[in-house]
Chain A
């Protein structure tokens, strides 16, 4: 919420006025956000409908909107950039081929998360037995020098890159099922009901996986800190 400071008004009346203005602007901003979100939903539905009629351009608009999300879901699930890139392309290709089966009774994002998470879980399970991601392996795969270069040029936020590296390292210790729940709950901010719908498992299972995963993350991240 934007904050308006009026340094020249020092009286109580002035502070009240400032508070009122801030409140009004906050309301306007919230309305603007909800309007924008509603517009986004309408626009997305139109793109989905056009994609179902075979409009590739409309589908690629959906790709443009969701590719960053799907890529990061894949990256946190698979812990490898090349594999995450491959998986993301496969997820969009699968969505493109099956878009006509999508009934718009749920959100497109829910449907896309379902494809992405299930794809990543099955990819992770297909890995040869004995492949375990240790912290050192993850650190090597992350390649800190490259990570720093990318983030400095694009975001200029070295600390965030380090955080990401630590989080991914900790996530590597989770089984794919728990990782999927943590991803959907804390990174994609889905409700328990949505997560249950995406993963096709009961609500109680979702919660138990979440708390078990959170416990492991707490241990790993605290230990590193």
Chain B
């Protein structure tokens, strides 16, 4: 056994699985031809692999078919097994059902009347209660509308009458009527203007009178305030004079008291 044997014996199993380069394979073949122990090693591998290949497969004891019930049948897995088109359709139907279910549940009502339970869907019909205020308002509104309609009818009749009477007038009468109406309108305008002037004049006059009255009152008030202030000043001066007199008197008394002990010494 040479020093090269170890290296070549490592290559022997690799040679059986085609894991050697052409050069390595050629080198191994040359070595095997010259080295008996390595050749025997090669033969042992050959026999081992031959035995592995000859072993073959055993027949199966039974078949291993699977059945649809063995597939997990929860709704999500069923959904995942669908084709994309069917998935979209199923999702749409599910959303619709969910919407309808939600609407139904939201309108579901359970009531108890005098011990009797009632389950109902949708809007419940409530008994009508009389609202007197609303009824009054309705009646008034109806009457108002009636009155307005009557007035409109009366105005319409009046207009019709005027139109009819206007149609029967002659041209000259129509001119005279227009002149009278114009004169009437002028006089009404003059009257309105005069009234407005009277009102304006009256308002100015009343403003002046009001100003004079306010000024007079203000003057009287000012005179009263001045007189009171003068009186206060006079009173204060009188009191100040009396206070000074009292102080002078007290000082004189004090001076007298101070002089008497010194004079005695």
**What residue in chain B is nearest A225 (Cβ atoms)?**
B47
Q: What are the residues of chain A within 8 A of B68 when measuring CB–CB?
A: 56
Q: A164 CA to B52 CA in the complex, in Å?
A: 8
Please give me the residue from chain A that is nearest to B82 by CB atom.
A54
Residue of B nearest to A60 (CB): B65
Say whether B47 contacts A68, CB under 8 Å.
no
Cα distance A187–B72 in the bound complex, in angstroms:
33
Docked Cα-Cα span, A160 to B48, in Å, equals 14
Q: Which residue of B lies closest to A215 (CB)?
A: B13
Q: Which of A76-120 contact B (CB under 8 A)?
A: 81, 85, 88-89, 92-93, 96-97, 100
**CB 8 Å contact bits of A187-206 with B (1 = contact, 0 = none):** 10000100000000000000
What's the minimum C-beta distance from B44 to chain A, rounded to whole angstroms? 5
Residues of B within 8 A of A75 (CB): 58
CB-CB under 8 A for A63 and B65, given A72-B58, A154-B59, A217-B48: yes
A186 beta carbon closer than 8 Å to chain B? yes
- Is there an interface contact between B70 and A93, defined as CB atoms closer than 8 Å? yes
Bin chain B's interface residue count.
20 to 34
B44 touches A222 (CB 8 A): yes
In the bound assembly, the distance between CA atoms of A210 and B49 in angstroms comes to 12
Q: Does A45 contact B (CB under 8 A)?
A: no
Contacting pair A221 B51 (CB below 8 A): yes
Q: With an 8 A cutoff between CB atoms, is B254 at the interface? A: no
Residue ID in chain A nearest B65 by CB atoms: A60
Interface string of B26-67 (1 = CB under 8 A from A): 000000000000000000110111011111111111111111
On whether the beta carbons of A67 and B64 are closer than 8 Å, the reply is yes
Q: Does A59 contact B (CB under 8 A)?
A: yes
Q: Check A222/B48 contact, CB under 8 A, given A54-B81, A71-B58, A164-B56.
A: yes
Partner of B66, one of A92, A167, A211: A92
Please, how many residues of chain A have a CB less than 8 angstroms from a CB on the other chain? 47
> How many whole Å from A115's CB to the nearest CB in chain B?
13
Q: Is B1 an interface residue (CB 8 A)?
A: no
A186 contacts B53, CB within 8 Å?
Answer: yes
The residues of A that contact B49 with a CB separation of less than 8 Å are: 186
Shortest Cβ distance from A43 into chain B, in angstroms? 18
A129 to B50, CA, bound (A): 33
Residues of A within 8 A of B59 (CB): 68, 150, 154-155
Q: Is the C-beta of B83 less than 8 angstroms from some C-beta in chain A?
A: yes
- CB pair B55–A67 under 8 Å, yes or no, is no
A67 to B66, CA, bound (A): 11
Known: A185-B17, A215-B13. A164 touches B63 (CB 8 A): no
Contact between A56 and B52 (Cβ–Cβ < 8 Å)?
A: no
The residue in chain B whose Cβ has the minimal distance to the Cβ of A81 is: B61
Determine if B14 and A160 form an interchain contact, defined as CB atoms under 8 angstroms apart: no
Q: Which of B19, B45, B55 contacts A167 (CB 8 A)?
A: B55
Contact of B45 among A59, A63, A67, A214 (CB under 8 A): A214
In the complex the two chains form, is A67's CB within 8 Å of B63's CB?
Answer: yes
> Smallest Cβ distance from B51 to chain A, in angstroms?
6
Given known contacts A68-B60, A96-B71, A160 and B55 CB-to-CB distance under 8 angstroms:
yes
- Taking Cβ atoms with an 8 Å cutoff, the residues of A that contact B are 53-54, 56, 59-60, 63-64, 67-72, 75, 81, 85, 88-89, 92-93, 96-97, 100, 150, 154-155, 160, 163-164, 166-168, 182, 185-187, 192, 207, 210-211, 214-215, 217-218, 221-222, 225
Using a CB–CB distance below 8 Å, which chain B residues touch chain A? 13-14, 17, 19, 44-45, 47-49, 51-68, 70-72, 80-81, 83
10 A-B pairs (CB sep. < 8 Å): A53-B81, A56-B66, A67-B64, A150-B59, A154-B59, A160-B55, A221-B47, A222-B44, A222-B48, A225-B47
Inter-chain pairs besides A96-B71, A160-B54, 13 sampled, C-beta below 8 Å: A68-B57, A71-B58, A85-B62, A92-B64, A93-B66, A97-B72, A150-B59, A167-B55, A186-B52, A192-B19, A207-B19, A211-B14, A221-B48
